[in-house]
Structures are given as structure tokens and as C-alpha cells.
């Protein structure tokens, strides 16, 4: 009897050790998902990592969760096949399309998933869309991954769409082309990829201004982090420094508590009361559109706060780094 008991104890110990080793391998060691999925971005519940890919620019993970595809880059969700993605794409695309005088030529930087491209193709007057992404893997997912192609309705394979694998800054520096609408949908700079700061700098925004047709409009994605409003404010002030009229707006999603922030940039003033959706939209109702331009207290920049991001400083990176640090402790309170 004692022998059986000791055998059971021994077997339990072996299983415990193996379990601890697996946990170490998965979360700390060489197989760590933390290299590919940030803890605060991890799906709630069981999920499967279908592929992990390390490119010169980022670590990419293809994840299946509750029948949906989530694509991560450097730990953050880049795009997915969820309803949240539809809501985000509508805000990202249709507001600058409504604000622009024309919609013949559209540029999307950060267009690997093809969802924003799908929305831009809904306008019959669109003649050409240029979708730029730094990573060929992201564009391959948008072009050939069955679930993504079904979700984006084959947008990146459409004859009106030209895809470019290149850093967005480099592309802008080396092209003489101009566009009626420009969408900048890239994540915030982080310690893993600090060069993203060059896609938020005053020098880059001045280049965008040169590439914008008269009466054109630009939309900049400005993160969802309501606990770092300085990030949003600094982008606003940097755009103003580059010579733009700036209209900040946001899109709050009550279901998950996310509050996406955006900056609409134009060369002439835009009357938000006169903005109307030019195509049918599921989420951007007239009531919601009006509410999006009303800034809640934690986003409002009544005192013109915010520092200017340049090619030579780390304004946004410092804000993101501080906010990431404070997530583990007490978050700031903003009056």
C-alpha cells in the first residue's frame, strides 16, 4: 500500500514538474507567447496560435479565437475578423472621405488587413487606392488568408488597389504622387519598434501636406489608451505645427470599454455639423457621428497641451513607456 502511495506521489511530482516546465516555456522561455502577444491584449479564454512569424520588422502571431482570426504585431492586435474591426474601419475611413472635397485617389498606410481598403472601395468615384504596409506577411494575410479575404471581401486583390511593401515614411519620401484622402493606421511607437515615431513627426506630417490634394483630408489613428491623453494631445499639436487644421474625434465602444482616438487633419476648416456619410454605414449614425466630435473630459485638450514629436526626439515613445509602466500600479488622474 505504501509503495503504491509513493508511486502516486512520484507520478504527481513528475506531472507537476512537466506542467511547470510547460508554463515556463510558454510564458517565459523561448516559446513564450509574450514575445508575440502582450498580456493586456491576450484574448479572454482559450485560443490557438496558428502561426508565429518573426520578420525584420516585428513578431507576428496568427491567432484563432472563438471562430475569429486575430493578427498580432509586436504584441498588439493589428487587425481581426471581428465586429470591432468593422466599427473601427468605419471611423477610420468614412469620416475623412466625408470631409474631403474629392475621393478619387486614396492612400492607406498600414493597410495590411484590407479592411479599411474594403470600406474605401465602397465609393464609386474612387479610381485608385494605394495600400502600403511595411511587412509582406501582413499583406499576404490580407490577400490570401481565407478568413481575412472573406472578411475584407477580397479588397487587396481588387483591380483598383495597388499594394506596396515598404515603410510608410520611405514611401512618402520617394513618391511625387498626391491623394485626396490619406489614412494613417499604424500603432504607437514602442521600445520594440521606436522607428514608428517617424510616422508621427512634424517632418512627416509636412511631407503628407505636400502629398495632399487641395480640399483633401487625412485621418490619423491615435491609440485607444484613455489613461495617456498626452499622446493624443501631442499628435494634435504636432499636426497643427505642420500647418493643418485639426479636428480630434473619438469612438467609444460601450461593449468593451475601448475609446478609439483619431485626428482629422485638413488644410481648411471643416464644419462638423455639415459632415454627412456619403455611403450607408452600420455604426456611424447621425447621432453617433455628432457625439464622436464631442470630447470627453479625459480627452479634451482645452489648454493646448502636448509636445511636438520630431524626427529627433522621443515624445510619443516616452508617453507610451510611462503609460505601460503605470498600468501595473496606480493610473494617473487627469482633471
Confidence of residue 275 (pLDDT cuts 50, 70, 90): very high
Is the pLDDT at 313 greater than 90? The verdict is yes
Domain shared by 167 and 59, yes or no = no
Least confident of 96-105, 185-194, 232-241: 185-194
Least confident of 259-263, 321-325, 327-331: 327-331
Q: Are 267 and 283 in contact (CB under 8 A)?
A: no
Residue 12 C-alpha from the chain's centroid? 45
Domain shared by 53 and 138, yes or no = no
Final residue belonging to a domain, choices 65, 80, 95: 80
**What is the helix (H) or strand (E) element at residue 162, kind and residue range?**
strand 161-165
Domain shared by 133 and 51, yes or no = no
pTM for the full model? 0.86
Domain annotation covers residue 4: no
Q: Write the CATH number for 263.
A: 3.40.50.150
Domain shared by 253 and 225, yes or no = yes
Confidence of residue 317 (pLDDT cuts 50, 70, 90): very high
Q: Which domain holds residue 66?
A: 30-80
Is the pLDDT at 331 greater than 80? The verdict is no
For the segment 20-71, what is each residue's pLDDT rounded down to a tens digit? 333 333 444 445 677 788 887 788 889 999 999 998 888 999 999 999 999 9
Domain shared by 274 and 308, yes or no = yes
Active-site residue among 133, 135, 167, 185? 185
Confidence of residue 326 (pLDDT cuts 50, 70, 90): low
Is the pLDDT at 15 greater than 50? The verdict is no
Q: Stretch 78-105: mean pLDDT, rounded?
A: 94
Domain shared by 43 and 107, yes or no = no
Final residue belonging to a domain, choices 80, 112, 143: 80
Q: What is the pLDDT of residue 32?
A: 66
Domain annotation covers residue 2: no
Instruction: Using DSSP bridges, classify how beta strands 258-266 and 105-109 pair: parallel, antiparallel or unpaired.
Output: unpaired
Domain annotation covers residue 124: yes
Phi first, then psi, for residue 87 (nearest 5°) are -65, -45
- Phi-psi group of 67: left, alpha or beta (phi > 0 → left; psi -120 to 50 → alpha; rest → beta): left
Round the average pLDDT of the chain to a whole number and report it.
Answer: 86
Domain shared by 178 and 90, yes or no = yes
Active-site residue flag, 185: yes
Final residue belonging to a domain, choices 46, 80, 114: 80
Q: List the one residue out of 122, 201, 210 whose CA is nearest residue 169.
A: 201
Domain shared by 168 and 37, yes or no = no
Domain annotation covers residue 133: yes
Phi first, then psi, for residue 89 (nearest 5°) are -65, -35
Domain shared by 71 and 122, yes or no = no
Domain annotation covers residue 16: no
Report the domain count for the chain: 2
Domain shared by 131 and 54, yes or no = no
Q: How far apart are CA 311 and CA 238, in angstroms?
A: 12
Domain shared by 45 and 110, yes or no = no
Domain shared by 181 and 212, yes or no = yes
Amino acid at each position: 500500500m505504501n509503495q503504491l502511495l509513493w508511486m502516486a506521489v512520484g507520478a504527481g511530482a513528475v506531472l507537476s514538474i512537466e506542467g511547470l516546465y510547460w508554463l515556463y516555456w510558454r510564458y517565459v522561455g523561448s516559446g513564450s507567447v509574450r514575445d508575440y502577444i502582450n498580456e493586456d491584449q491576450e484574448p479572454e479564454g482559450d485560443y490557438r496560435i496558428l502561426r508565429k512569424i518573426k520578420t525584420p520588422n516585428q513578431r507576428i502571431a496568427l491567432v484563432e479565437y472563438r471562430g475569429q482570426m486575430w493578427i498580432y504585431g509586436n504584441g498588439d492586435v493589428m487587425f481581426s475578423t471581428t465586429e470591432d474591426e468593422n466599427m473601427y474601419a468605419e471611423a477610420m475611413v468614412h469620416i475623412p472621405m466625408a470631409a474631403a472635397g474629392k475621393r478619387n485617389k486614396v492612400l492607406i498606410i498600414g493597410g495590411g488587413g484590407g479592411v479599411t481598403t474594403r470600406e474605401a472601395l465602397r465609393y464609386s468615384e474612387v479610381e485608385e487606392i494605394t495600400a502600403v504596409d511595411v511587412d509582406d506577411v501582413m499583406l499576404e494575410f490580407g490577400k490570401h488568408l481565407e478568413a481575412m479575404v472573406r472578411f475584407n471581401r477580397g479588397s487587396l486583390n481588387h483591380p483598383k488597389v495597388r499594394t506596396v511593401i515598404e515603410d510608410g515614411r520611405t514611401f512618402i519620401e520617394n513618391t511625387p504622387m498626391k491623394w485626396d484622402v490619406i489614412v494613417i493606421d499604424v500603432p504607437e511607437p514602442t521600445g520594440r519598434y521606436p522607428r514608428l515615431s517617424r510616422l508621427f513627426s512634424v517632418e512627416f506630417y509636412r511631407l503628407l501636406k505636400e502629398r495632399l490634394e487641395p480640399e483633401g483630408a487625412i485621418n490619423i489613428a491615435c491609440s485607444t489608451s484613455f489613461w495617456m491623453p498626452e499622446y493624443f494631445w501631442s499628435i494634435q499639436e504636432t499636426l497643427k505645427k505642420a500647418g493643418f487644421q485639426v479636428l480630434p474625434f473619438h469612438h467609444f465602444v460601450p461593449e468593451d470599454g475601448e475609446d478609439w482616438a483619431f485626428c482629422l487633419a485638413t488644410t481648411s476648416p471643416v464644419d462638423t455639423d455639415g459632415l454627412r456619410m456619403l455611403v450607408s454605414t452600420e455604426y456611424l449614425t447621425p447621432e453617433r457621428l455628432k457625439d464622436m466630435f464631442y470630447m470627453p473630459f479625459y480627452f479634451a485638450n482645452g489648454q493646448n497641451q502636448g509636445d511636438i514629436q520630431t524626427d529627433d526626439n522621443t515624445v510619443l515613445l516616452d508617453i507610451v513607456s510611462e503609460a505601460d509602466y503605470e498600468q501595473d500600479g496606480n493610473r494617473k488622474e487627469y482633471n
